[in-house]
């Protein structure tokens, strides 16, 4: 088993790329950290921040033993719970500020509490409002004959019951090439599709790229394709009709994930009442050409 490269892993449609020299947690951009953290980490951060703020204000209350009425002098427990009640703007009434110093600290804590609540509410709303694309891509690319010429195909579908409108798809093949100076470059070459736009995506969509003179795969045999360090990137964007929200997703395929002389099994069926349906669970099913 080989040791994975150092650096931060970036997932691109199933492929892992690694980037070094970047910081996963840049404190200058807390908004990005809050939105990209996992849900357990996010809630742990909220709880930790809440406890830390209350500990700081509890320490400030303890500077003046008489700052809180009905609290035991130098009791961190009483000061901490009073701070929680103040920060949350609850104010049960059993403890209250009893000196000018106590009122000043509690006023500062009220401002801090309102700000903290507003920020947390906004972050939670943004995290919940992010729509996951939920696109389904076939596990393998296929190359088969279509209209008398070899064609690269990939099938996709929307994983929700609704439909997508104004959908667009693009196909790029990342291919290494050497310059006349002997340097190696990775070029992202566009693989033109027969149809790159659909007004409605309801069932499935099979993207087709003819392998002609303009194709990055033109002139390559099956052995050359499998031996080459190719990476096929499928990008997709559309708009969910029911959510009124745009979605974007991508899928990456390696050379080993290209099947030759293979076609996708037909998923679309029509019953006796002329009702059309498709079982997207079988989106990856293939059969020999």
pLDDT value of residue 60:
94
Regarding the domain delimited by 9-129, which CATH topology (the fold level of the hierarchy) does it fall under? Helix Hairpins (1.10.287)
| Contact in structure between 257 and 137 (CB atoms under 8 Å) | no
Given a cut of 80, is residue 250 above it in pLDDT? yes
| Contact in structure between 61 and 105 (CB atoms under 8 Å) | yes
Given a cut of 70, is residue 243 above it in pLDDT? yes
Q: Look up the CATH number of domain 135-288.
A: 2.60.40.1400
| Contact in structure between 64 and 102 (CB atoms under 8 Å) | yes
| Mean pLDDT of the region 85-93 | 85
> Structure tokens of 169?
């798809």
| Mean pLDDT of the region 98-127 | 93
Across the chain, what does the average pLDDT equal? 88
For residues 203 and 286, what is the distance between their CA atoms, to the nearest angstrom?
A: 17
| Mean pLDDT of the region 262-268 | 92
The fraction of the chain above a pLDDT of 90, given in percent, is 56
| Contact in structure between 18 and 5 (CB atoms under 8 Å) | yes
pLDDT value of residue 30:
85
Given a cut of 80, is residue 121 above it in pLDDT? yes
Report residue 66's pLDDT band, with 50, 70 and 90 as the boundaries. confident
More confident residue, 28 or 133: 133
Q: What is the pLDDT of residues 177-208, one digit of tens each?
A: 777 777 777 888 899 999 999 999 999 999 99
Q: What is the pLDDT of residues 22-56, one digit of tens each?
A: 666 677 788 888 888 889 999 999 999 999 999 99
pLDDT value of residue 119:
93
- At 284, give phi and psi (nearest 5°): -95, 0
- At 166, give phi and psi (nearest 5°): 50, 55
Q: What is the pLDDT of residues 139-180, one digit of tens each?
A: 999 999 998 899 999 999 999 888 999 999 999 999 887 777
Q: What is the pTM of this model?
A: 0.74
| Mean pLDDT of the region 247-276 | 90
| Contact in structure between 44 and 26 (CB atoms under 8 Å) | no
DSSP string, the chain: -PPPPSSEEEEETTEEEEE-S--SS-TT-HHHHHHHS-HHHHHHHHHHHHHHHHHHHHHHHHTSTTSEET--TT-HHHHHHHHHHHHTT---SSSEE-SHHHHHHHHHHHHHHHHHHHHHHHHHHHHHHPPP--EEE-SSEEEEEETTEEEEEEEEEESSSS-EEEEEEEEEEEEEEE-TTS-EEEEEEE---S--EEEEESSEEEEEEE-STTSTTTT--HHHHHHS--EEEEEEEEEETTTTEEEEEEEEEEGGGEEESEEEPP-EEE-TT--EEE-GGGTT-EEE-
Residue-range domain boundaries for the chain: 9-129, 135-288
Given a cut of 60, is residue 1 above it in pLDDT? no
pLDDT value of residue 97:
92
| Mean pLDDT of the region 245-260 | 92
Go through 120-134 and write b for each residue having 16 or more CB atoms within 10 A of its CB, e for each that does not: eeebeeeeeeeeebe
Report residue 17's pLDDT band, with 50, 70 and 90 as the boundaries. low
């Amino acid at each position: 088993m080989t040791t994975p490269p150092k650096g931060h892993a970036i997932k691109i449609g199933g492929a892992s790329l690694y980037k070094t020299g970047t910081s996963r947690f840049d404190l200058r951009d807390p908004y990005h950290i809050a939105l990209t953290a996992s849900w357990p980490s996010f809630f742990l951060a909220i709880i930790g921040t809440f406890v830390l703020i209350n500990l700081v204000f509890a320490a400030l209350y303890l500077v003046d033993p008489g700052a809180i009425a009905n609290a035991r002098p130098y009791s961190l427990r009483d000061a901490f719970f009073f701070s929680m009640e103040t920060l949350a703007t609850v104010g049960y009434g059993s403890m209250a500020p009893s000196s000018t110093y106590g009122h000043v600290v509690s006023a500062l804590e009220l401002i801090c509490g309102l700000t903290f609540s507003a920020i947390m509410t906004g972050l939670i709303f943004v995290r919940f409002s992010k729509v996951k694309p939920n696109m389904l891509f076939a596990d393998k690319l296929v190359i088969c004959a279509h209209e008398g010429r070899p064609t690269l195909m990939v099938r996709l579908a929307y994983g929700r019951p609704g439909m997508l409108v104004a959908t667009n798809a693009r196909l790029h093949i990342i291919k290494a090439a050497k310059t006349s100076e002997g340097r190696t470059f990775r070029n992202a070459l566009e693989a033109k599709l027969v149809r790159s736009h659909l007004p409605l995506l309801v069932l499935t969509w099979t993207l087709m790229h003819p392998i002609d003179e303009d194709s990055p795969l033109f002139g390559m045999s099956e052995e050359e394709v499998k031996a080459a360090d190719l990476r096929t990137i499928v990008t997709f964007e559309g708009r969910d009709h029911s959510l009124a929200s745009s979605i974007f997703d991508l899928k990456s395929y390696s050379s080993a994930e290209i099947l030759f002389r293979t076609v996708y099994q037909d998923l679309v069926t029509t019953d006796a009442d002329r009702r059309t349906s498709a079982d997207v669970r079988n989106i990856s099913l293939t059969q020999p050409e």
